[in-house]
Structure 1
Amino acid sequence: MLNARVVDPGTGTSSSPSDVWLQAGQISRVTPAGRVPGAGNVLDLKGNFVAPGMMDAHVHLAFDGGDDPKATHQASSDEEIIAQVVANARIALRAGITTVRDCGTPRRLLAPMRAALGMASDVATVVHCGAPLCRVGGHAHDMGGEVRTRHDVHTLIAEQHAAGATWIKLMASGGGFTPGTSPSVFEFDPVLLREAVVIAGSYGMKTAAHAHASSSIAACIDAGVHTLEHASMLGPDERCSPDPGLLRRAADAGIHIVPTVIAADIVSRQLQEGRQVLANPLDRNVVARLESRFTNVTEFLHSGVSIVAGTDAGPAHVTFDLLARELERYVAAGLTAQHALKSATTEAASMLGLESQVGRVRPGLWADLIFTSADPLQDITTLQTPLGVLKRGLLIAH
């Protein structure tokens, strides 16, 4: 790639025109433009910008993001669901999202899902959590992850590790999609929660915790989880009550928070329009809960906790190409464009354990890259319309 301005989210700088050389899908060198002769296929970026591919740390590939994803999912065959998984990973990649973390898929589908994705070259790289672990009847229990005992926990984690998961999802509170659960309540046996973190760690796996309630967040910090998903900070009165002390504890423990603001924006708007896209009678303060996710980002920023970008793609009209809009919401909440971009590149790569593979435009890393007409460090909105996308050196969209 010739005449590219290389964007470094880590340092917050963009280079003068440079040439970026690729070999076998990796970045081999970055040199001043025109200084070093080369051979092979040439792509002249003509002074446009090249940035690391974005990473979406919270998606649900088994759902279609349509009018009624849960009903569609339930009416679909396994083969149809797998086809949807691949299609969603393809949508993400064409939007410049080169890596996603799938935060919940049916237990029986993890292995075939990985096999199907492995046969496609034009899809985002997927980091798998497999079926979420939950209490009996807990949030997303229909995915097959109910646990009652330590034996259940060990069996499920061992099975999903063997099927290729590298993360384990824990449903530490209820959720809007599951009747009979409460988002404002800690809904996991604290002993089993700690056991799950320890057992997952014994397999080299990290843990992600769905946690709306402040009580569930506190329990997850005590248990040593690696990421908090949504982190709505709900009190027992079902209202959002930001707790700076709790957030400082998370920051001190090195825990990352994935806010998933854009999904909350989209779903809350549909609820206010009278569309029943969530169906949980115990989620009585749902619109306020969802709207708090945006204001919570400002609280996360002030606490110093690590923010990693994720969209929660999969629910009604939350499609798999919305990560740039998620970053725009972070900027509106007070993050700089650099900080927002880091949340989807360098910070995400570090959280996922992929910093030696992706997240920067640097020799030795995979050529998972996007091209933009403006500098995203100055104008975050340019990420909505990438000029081109590379996945391991292969030009996907241009």
Structure 2
Amino acid sequence: MYNAIRFRKALLGPDMEPADDVWMTISDGLITALGTGQGPAGIPSHPAAVAIPGLVDCHVHLALSGGADVEQEARSSDPAARQDLLEANAFRHLQSGVTTVRDLGSPEDAVLHAVKGGGLGAARAPQIVAAGAISSPAGHGNFLSRWATTPAEYEEAINAIAGLGAHWVKLFATGGVITSGTVPGATQMEPSLISEVTAAAHRSGLAAAAHAHGSDGIRNAIEAGVDSIEHFSYLTPDEVALLAESRCTLVSTLVATERFVSSDQRETANPETLSKILAHAPHERAALQQAVRARLPLAVGTDAGTTFNPHGFGMQEQALHLNRAGMDPASVLRAMTVNGSRLLGDGAGYLDVGRRADILCLDADPLEDLGALYKINEVILVGRPVGK
């Protein structure tokens, strides 16, 4: 446990300003004082070159493996095996510098139950902001969701999810890639339905995240007042204009698509799924570039657990994709930390007094080279070093 610590360099505050010779004191997992220069006597120096906030992954599926057919796997896995899997996946995120995740759906609400029951050791898992997902019986994501078709059925599912301690509800505005029989660009929820369901979620105290690839689904989700839109793969200038006037945050998960497309095992995937991802990938790349050019509010997720997208180090890959899409390193780092914490209402996300002491200690400076995010010296979670 760290009670006080000094870093040669750290990125501080919501603007992640670089500062040299930074010291901080920690109590009950929170940063209680912070400054530069001499500071209190006897504060030990950390060997890392740079300290940054722990990464915030806003889109994961801890109960999915990232194998060739996660849909079939989810339908056939038993609760004990699922629990073991999600615990292992949570620790992989922590080891790769991710100190907060938002889980956006699991079979039989496995992650919600695990979090509520305290089944994840505090030293073995990041902070988990858990959502319950709701889909139609044959719709995209049905294998990791409760099922509903009418507003009344959705409201019943929302109440059940809220009762399990969820902070978010995941909705499916469009079809998707990995669910058989669905199409990424096709609308899955009509405008009136997603509006009614989003309002019901907000009445229950839940924020709403919308899976939305197609432009019609993106527009329907914005107009419904959802809090985040995941993927946004067929974004057009019309939706960009709407987003600029909304309070909605986009969550890029391009790494999930790129991992699938580049996998040397992709030919073993379901042929329908493979065909969809290959057709879909160029659109998602272009949509991210468009969002970056328009300076839309952007947070980051990995969609870890989906096809050929295992847990761990996806955020490092995503950082490089964001950079290629036109974001400078400082903006990439803010998207992966500050922006994510603001979206989730999380108490970490940047280093400042009163924030949770979740710190990623690196052996090189990511402002100079985002590849430094792979060079992890230590991960600190609520003031405690994470074991290897």
Greater alpha carbon shift after TM alignment, 303-312 vs 100-109: 100-109
8 Å CA contact retained: 1:209, 1:225: yes
One-letter amino acid of the counterpart of residue 254, structure 2: V
Structure 1 residues 19 and 229: alpha-carbon distance in aligned structure 2, compared to 1, 3 A threshold: same
Deviations 1:88-138 (A, max 9, x none): 1110011100000111112342443212544442211111112x2223311
Structure 1 residues 278 and 333: alpha-carbon distance in aligned structure 2, compared to 1, 3 A threshold: farther
Give the counterpart of 1:29 among 17, 30, 33.
33
Mapping of 1:74-153 within 5 angstroms? 74-114=75-115, 115-130=117-132, 132-153=133-154
One-letter amino acid of the counterpart of residue 250, structure 1: L
Give the counterpart of 1:307 among 294, 298, 310.
298
Q: What residue is the counterpart of 2:19 in the other structure?
A: 15
8 Å CA contact retained: 1:5, 1:15: yes
Structure 1 residues 112 and 10: alpha-carbon distance in aligned structure 2, compared to 1, 3 A threshold: closer
Structure 1 residues 75 and 285: alpha-carbon distance in aligned structure 2, compared to 1, 3 A threshold: closer
Give the secondary structure class of the aligned counterpart of 2:189. coil
1:389 aligns with 2:379: yes
Alignment RMSD (CA, Å): 2.1
1:264 aligns with 2:257: yes
8 Å CA contact retained: 1:4, 1:20: no
Structure 1 distance, partners of 2:169, 2:72, is 25
Structure 1 unpaired stretches of 5+? 234-241
- TM-score w.r.t. the length of structure 2 is 0.92
Structure 1 distance, partners of 2:281, 2:14, is 30
Q: What residue is the counterpart of 2:209 in the other structure?
A: 208
Give the count of matched residue pairs. Answer: 382
1:244 aligns with 2:237: yes
Deviation (angstroms), 1:208: 0.6
Structure 1 distance, partners of 2:242, 2:177, is 27
Structure 2 distance, partners of 1:185, 1:9, is 41
1:277 aligns with 2:277: no
Give the secondary structure class of the aligned counterpart of 1:45. coil
Mapping of 1:150-169 within 5 angstroms? 150-169=151-170
1:359 aligns with 2:345: no
Q: What residue is the counterpart of 1:329 in the other structure?
A: 321
Give the secondary structure class of the aligned counterpart of 2:210. strand
Mapping of 1:228-239 within 5 angstroms? 228-233=229-234
- TM-score w.r.t. the length of structure 1 is 0.90
Give the secondary structure class of the aligned counterpart of 2:365. coil
Q: What residue is the counterpart of 2:248 in the other structure?
A: 255
Among all aligned residue pairs of Structure 1 and Structure 2, give the percentage whose two residues are the same amino acid. Answer: 25
Structure 2 distance, partners of 1:313, 1:373, is 25
Structure 2 distance, partners of 1:285, 1:319, is 20
Give the secondary structure class of the aligned counterpart of 1:289. helix
8 Å CA contact retained: 1:325, 1:384: no
Structure 1 residues 345 and 292: alpha-carbon distance in aligned structure 2, compared to 1, 3 A threshold: same
Structure 2 distance, partners of 1:105, 1:332, is 31
Structure 1 distance, partners of 2:145, 2:130, is 15
Structure 1 residues 111 and 372: alpha-carbon distance in aligned structure 2, compared to 1, 3 A threshold: closer
8 Å CA contact retained: 1:14, 1:375: no
Structure 1 residues 122 and 4: alpha-carbon distance in aligned structure 2, compared to 1, 3 A threshold: farther
8 Å CA contact retained: 2:64, 2:86: yes
One-letter amino acid of the counterpart of residue 315, structure 2: L
Structure 2 distance, partners of 1:318, 1:24, is 35
Give the secondary structure class of the aligned counterpart of 1:174. coil
Deviations 1:169-226 (A, max 9, x none): 0111111122222212111132221111111111221111111110101111111111
One-letter amino acid of the counterpart of residue 267, structure 1: F
Greater alpha carbon shift after TM alignment, 247-256 vs 116-125: 116-125
Mapping of 1:181-196 within 5 angstroms? 181-196=182-197
Structure 1 residues 383 and 110: alpha-carbon distance in aligned structure 2, compared to 1, 3 A threshold: closer
Structure 2 distance, partners of 1:46, 1:217, is 46
Q: What residue is the counterpart of 2:370 in the other structure?
A: 380
One-letter amino acid of the counterpart of residue 336, structure 1: D
